[in-house]
Chains A and B, each alone.
Chain A
Amino acid sequence: MKEFDVVIIGSGPGGYICAVRCAQLGLKTAIIEKYNTLGGTCLNVGCIPSKAWLDSSEKYHELTHSFSEHGIHVKDASFDFLKMSARVQKVVTDVSAGISFLMKKNKITVFNGLGTFTDANTILIKNTKGDETITGKKIVIATGSKPTSLPGVVIDKKRIITSTEALSLKEVPKKLIVIGGGVIGLELTSVFKRLGSEVTVIEYADSIIAMMDAELGKNLHKLFVKDGVKFLLGHGVTAVESIGNLVKVKAKDKSSEKIIEIEGDYCLVAVGRRPYTDGLLLENAGVKLDDRGRIETNNYLQTNVPHIYALGDVVKGAMLAHKAEEEGVFVAEVICGQKPHIDYNLIPGVVYTWPEVSSVGLSEEQLKKEGKEYKVGSFPFKASGRARASNEADGFVKVLADKKTDEILGVHMIGPRVADMIAEAVVAMEYRASAEDIARISHAHPTYSEAFKEACLSATDNRALNM
């Protein structure tokens, strides 16, 4: 029986990062992965392939929609869906190989198979080639999450699908019905809309990306509508039915109670994800779940069994790859007696639509609820020279700062490349910068990032220079 200092179950961004950090800190480390490839949801059926699709579809969309404004005319533009899909798969394969390399480089032992607790220190790994049992002084559960469905809606994985299937379809849906106006639903809406699908998004809340600052959702909604995406906001789906090549979805208007029925050839269910602990046999280790099926952890991401830790989507908090990565490093360092720290308020959120949406810190709605006095600085990309030059003038940057101290409390962006731009806001907030601090830092011209500086100027004293 092989013995390890740390055994990590799950090789997603939380798990594999945790393994690398453990190895860096000198621990004898093992990682267990149920699937054949490392990287978890993020790499195989999440962040990476969706970004690959978004990029390919965006290029086609530009070719057919915005190139002409630049004076570039293309006759008979077309795309090969299967080739696009193959490229996406190659991206996934390459990145996964990169993780395998990282495991080798850091001398981390990789076990393929389903890890199951036999007791609190022992894990049985079930594999078609035979079972193996290993022990760990410390164990880290990083098993992630799976897409969920609505009550009564059965995912058949053919016509009624989740994001996992949507990323490897064999054809472009003609009429796609997306249930859920959150990040995943909208990113895939973007992909298929650009490739020619007619898309209807059904959302129970009255706005899309409802967890972000309301102004972002409002703006993004407007831009989607302009692109021809249909929305049924404030509608609850009551039934989804697949008949042959047809999908029928019934949705009830929350206010009028009127039931609408729409038809499509595919229905994407993107209503959220649930923590995934199936098959772990946590009861053998005595690890407790909370009332929402997540592994219960304390501030050190320690479960009720002190030597077992858990992180990422399987515990409380935002289901984001970069949150899991931070937790991976955190747990490895805690195991080694260090005292790391994560500020969960400063985990940025990003939506890879085009324009992109990103945010960090508190929204105006949260600030109002907390009764905090704040000031708002906003800068539209319309006034940015860089955005003008690229014909990307949609969107804005909004900075919320403490009314008294000028400390930045929240930054909300929608516009070109704001997924990358949000990093500056996170750095600023980690150092508790004031809006004026940013306003006094040189930003290269002409860049999109100037918009953040201008919004900070506007928040400081309403003194944006280019507006």
Chain B
Amino acid sequence: MSLELKIPVIGESVTEVTLSSWMKKDGEYVNEGESVCEIESDKASMELPAPSSGILKILAKAGDELKIGAIIGELDTSAAKPVNQPSIEKTVNAPVIVESKTDKKVEIPSPAAKKILDEKNISAAAVSGTGKDGRITKEDAVNAKAEAVEVTKIATSNGNRQKRNEKMTRLRKTIASKLVEAKNTTAMLTTFNEVDMFALMELRKKYKDTFKEKHGVGLGFMSFFTKACAVAIKDFPSVNAQINGDEIIFHNYVDMGIAVSTPKGLVVPVVRNAETLSLAQIEKEILGLATKARDGKISMDEMSGGTFSITNGGVFGSMLSTPILNIPQSAILGMHNIVERPVAINGQVVIRPIMYLALSYDHRIIDGRESVSFLKKVKELIEDPSRLLLDI
């Protein structure tokens, strides 16, 4: 019997993927569960496992752009397994992120396009063609822009001055276009506040060992911020809402996106129903997702559908920043580093651990009053964590 290998549905918004490479050869016997090829979508790359054991017949080339459901190969399941090939234990069938390989697609410029690209000193590989099968048309070549190469004019340096052109991965391209889209399609602005971390740090100092002992995870600040945001959202639901055409979608739950930096770029895994979780449950969720993301094993589902996001530039030492919205979400909280600063309390200058907070929001659906009040609420909850307990 022959079984068709198709590009599976990998996420609600993914309609097309690139077949990055075949991991098995045409005619090779593959065991059920073994990865046969690697595909790359807008969001991540992943390996496809064989649904059954059999002899692989390859029908799509590495580099092909394929629609969801496209047939990429066949498995002859009636074929006998070669004796010398050991069976490999079933691996997880879920698609997993793997390190992306360089895009192997051959870019083919038309004769006129080739001349234009040569004159602009742009490699064909750096241009994505809009013609048939990715061919680079004259228009593509005319529109292609060289990287800023002004440096060559400052011709006095004797140092080594090489440039390197590297093709953007799909993930990077997606990040780029999403960010620009967020900038271009929303009325984004940022409001700031500062939060005195003294009480929270004291609390943490006091209970972190006990917490760790009981729950098996460390007590960090992220769980408090997640909780604080979830509580504040109850008062200001538009912060957790989204624009959809002429309608506004309100959520009665908080799916909290937590930005995690990975070697491949920023990914934002989602903590579901954060409003119902305890601090310990949030910490466990975050730890699990962040580890998966950094190991490149996170699934598409675990990264989609957030309603609000938190990003912590403080881990890299950022004092203050204006985060960009993770569209279609309408707001994002930016955490920053904690610095001891002199502050005035009751007429006295004292030294306190201070963190600046930034809330970028889509002014189309969140009014200034709401955004500022939301951020103030978060500040109050963090500065006096007992409020979380008392729900005030």
Q: CB < 8 Å: which of B110, B115, B132 contacts A340?
A: B115
Residue of B nearest to A346 (CB): B111
Q: Contact at A338–B119, with CB atoms within 8 Å?
A: yes
Per-residue CB contact flags for chain B residues 102-113 toward chain A (1 = under 8 Å, else 0) read: 000000101100
Say whether B135 faces chain A, with CB atoms less than 8 Å apart.
yes
> Max chain A CB contacts within 10 Å: which of B108, B111, B118, B132?
B111
Q: Contact at B114–A341, with CB atoms within 8 Å?
A: yes
Which residues of chain A are within 8 angstroms of B115 by Cβ–Cβ distance? 338-341
Per-residue CB contact flags for chain A residues 277-294 toward chain B (1 = under 8 Å, else 0) read: 000000000000000000
> What is the bound-complex CA distance between A321 and B75, given in angstroms?
54
Q: Contact at B135–A431, with CB atoms within 8 Å?
A: yes
CB distance from B45 to the nearest CB of A (A): 24
CB distance from A450 to the nearest CB of B (A): 21
> What is the bound-complex CA distance between A219 and B110, given in angstroms?
34
Q: Contact at B111–A339, with CB atoms within 8 Å?
A: no
> What is the bound-complex CA distance between A175 and B132, given in angstroms?
56
Residue of B nearest to A340 (CB): B115
Interface size class of B (residues with CB under 8 A): 10 to 19
Per-residue CB contact flags for chain A residues 306-346 toward chain B (1 = under 8 Å, else 0) read: 00000000000000000000000000000000111101000
Query: Which residues 74-125 of B have a CB within 8 angstroms of A?
Result: 108, 110-111, 114-115, 118-119
Interface of A is mostly: loop
Say whether A403 faces chain B, with CB atoms less than 8 Å apart.
no
User: A432 with B108: in contact, given A339-B115, A339-B118 (CB under 8 Å)?
Assistant: yes
> What is the bound-complex CA distance between A338 and B115, given in angstroms?
8
Q: CB < 8 Å: which of A338, A405, A430, A437 contacts B110?
A: A430
Query: Which residues 388-434 of A have a CB within 8 angstroms of B?
Result: 405, 430-432
Which residues of chain B are within 8 angstroms of A341 by Cβ–Cβ distance? 111, 114-115, 118
Q: Contact at B119–A339, with CB atoms within 8 Å?
A: yes
> What is the bound-complex CA distance between A405 and B62, given in angstroms?
11
Residue of A nearest to B26 (CB): A404
Residue of A nearest to B111 (CB): A430
Per-residue CB contact flags for chain A residues 424-450 toward chain B (1 = under 8 Å, else 0) read: 000000111000010000000000000
Residue of B nearest to A337 (CB): B119
Q: CB < 8 Å: which of A338, A339, A343, A431 contacts B108?
A: A431
Which residues of chain B are within 8 angstroms of A432 by Cβ–Cβ distance? 108, 135
Per-residue CB contact flags for chain B residues 188-215 toward chain A (1 = under 8 Å, else 0) read: 0000000000000000000000000000
Query: Which residues 119-146 of B have a CB within 8 angstroms of A?
Result: 119, 132, 135
> What is the bound-complex CA distance between A343 and B110, given in angstroms?
12
Q: Contact at B111–A437, with CB atoms within 8 Å?
A: no
Which residues of chain A are within 8 angstroms of B114 by Cβ–Cβ distance? 341
Which residues of chain B are within 8 angstroms of A338 by Cβ–Cβ distance? 115, 119
Q: Contact at B119–A437, with CB atoms within 8 Å?
A: no
> What is the bound-complex CA distance between A437 and B135, given in angstroms?
13
Q: Contact at A431–B118, with CB atoms within 8 Å?
A: no
> What is the bound-complex CA distance between A289 and B245, given in angstroms?
73
Which residues of chain A are within 8 angstroms of B110 by Cβ–Cβ distance? 430-431
Residue of A nearest to B116 (CB): A339
Which residues of chain B are within 8 angstroms of A343 by Cβ–Cβ distance? 111
Which residues of chain A are within 8 angstroms of B132 by Cβ–Cβ distance? 437
> What is the bound-complex CA distance between A405 and B64, given in angstroms?
12
> What is the bound-complex CA distance between A430 and B132, given in angstroms?
14
Which residues of chain B are within 8 angstroms of A437 by Cβ–Cβ distance? 132
CB distance from B254 to the nearest CB of A (A): 51
Which residues of chain A are within 8 angstroms of B111 by Cβ–Cβ distance? 341, 343, 430-431
CB distance from A301 to the nearest CB of B (A): 16
> What is the bound-complex CA distance between A430 and B110, given in angstroms?
7
Known: A341-B114, A341-B118. 4 other contacts (CB 8 A): A338-B115, A339-B119, A340-B115, A341-B115
Nearest first, the 9 closest Cβ-Cβ pairs linking A and B are A339-B118, A339-B119, A432-B108, A430-B111, A340-B115, A341-B114, A341-B115, A338-B119, A431-B110
13 A-B pairs (CB sep. < 8 Å): A338-B119, A339-B115, A339-B119, A340-B115, A341-B111, A341-B114, A341-B115, A343-B111, A430-B110, A431-B108, A431-B111, A431-B135, A437-B132
